[in-house]
């Protein structure tokens, strides 16, 4: 998933990658402990995700890359 900055907030990445419908859903799934970054459960949707890191949710994985 291409991003233009050096990092992207987790909630934004979930929306950009079409893993969730909107910000409210992103907040809910993150706060419920359903999302992991590099295999570690994350509960803050503002967590910064950098290129090369792998985000997993509902059996799908996505990784940002720098444009």
Burial 37-47 (b: 16+ CB within 10 A, else e): beeeebeebeb
CATH number for the domain spanning 9: value is 3.10.290.10
Q: The whole model's pTM is what?
A: 0.91
Residue 66 confidence (pLDDT): 86
Domain tally for the chain?
1
Q: How confident is the model at residue 18 (pLDDT cuts 50, 70, 90)?
A: very high
Lookup result for tokens 């987790």? 10
Judge contact between 67 and 31, C-beta under 8 A.
no
Tell me the residue range of the domain where 49 lies.
2-66
Measured between alpha carbons, how far is 11 from 42 in angstroms, rounded to an integer? 11
- Bridge partners of 37? 40, 55
pLDDT tens column, 23-57: 999 999 999 999 999 999 999 989 999 999 999 99
6 pLDDT exceeds 90? yes
């Amino acid at each position: 998933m291409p991003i233009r900055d050096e990092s992207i907030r987790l909630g934004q990445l979930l929306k950009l990658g079409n893993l969730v419908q909107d910000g409210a859903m992103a907040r809910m799934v993150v706060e419920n402990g359903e999302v992991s970054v590099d295999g570690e459960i994350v509960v803050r949707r503002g967590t910064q995700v950098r290129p090369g890191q792998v985000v997993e949710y509902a059996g799908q994985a996505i990784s940002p890359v720098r444009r």
